Structure 1
Amino acid sequence: MVITALQHVRQCYSYADGKALYDVFAPRLLAGDDVTISFDGVSSLPSSFVNAALVPLLEHVSLDFIKKHLRFANTNSQMNDMIRSRLAVEAGRMGAHA
């Protein structure tokens, strides 16, 4: 299943934007579906967005699960680095499987 971020939020900037996107894709991912989030039209992701959109997943599943079942499309190196670093830091802090 592919979810295009900008079809669900006006921008990928704030904590509220991230929470809104989380509410769209997380139930599907946590139910066992493989999910791809497309960031088509987005040029960067701030940590506040990633903190709300992705980090809460670690309260329910391991980082390994996220790596296996959640993909990202139409990203750039800044976005990839932000996603990777925020998930890794929080997984380590929470004791999740890194």
Structure 2
Amino acid sequence: MGSIIRVINHVERCYSNEDGQIIFDIIDEKFQKKEKVTLSFAGINGVTSSFVNTALIDLLNKYDFDYVKRNLKFIHTNRQINASINERFKYEVKKRKQLINC
């Protein structure tokens, strides 16, 4: 089983790197305990790339993409949130693969 983290309970909005750092720290703490995490975006209308980079993409500095993909789920999202998360992960994973192959 995993933990459901309601983002709105920890940050007022998903706007800044500071907001993202709060969510990153929560996810990282759970991952260190080998727990799965479900992030609920209920009550959140949108996210910025700054938030996504710090909250989610920075996880790739500590965990490989497959681990993140297996252990982090998203619920109560909308089209904008989904697109932002998907686009950033696709870009970052592609960029990191290119660096490895250089």
User: TM-score, normalised to structure 2's length?
Assistant: 0.86
Larger gyration radius, structure 1 or structure 2: 2
Q: 2:64: which partner in 1?
A: 62
2:47 match = 45
Asked if the contact 1:29/1:70 (under 8 Å) is kept, the reply is no
- The question of 1:7 aligning with 2:9 is answered yes
Percent of aligned positions with the same letter in both sequences? 35
Shift of 1:15: 1.2
Unaligned runs of 5+ in 1: none
Q: What residue number does 2:22 align with?
A: 20
Aligned residue number for residue 89 of structure 1 = 91
Runs of 4+, deviation exceeding 3 Å = none
Greater shift in the superposed pair: 34-43 or 20-29:
20-29
Q: How many residues align?
A: 96
SS in 2 for 1:43: coil
Q: What do residues 30-61 of structure 1 show as CA deviations (whole Å, max 9, x unaligned)?
A: 43111001011001111110011001111122
Length-normalised TM-score, structure 1: 0.90
Question: What's the RMSD between the two structures over aligned residues?
Answer: 1.4
**Matched residue, 1:79:** 81
Which digits, 9 at most, give the CA deviation of each residue in 1:2-26, with x for residues without a partner?
Answer: 0000111121111110111111122
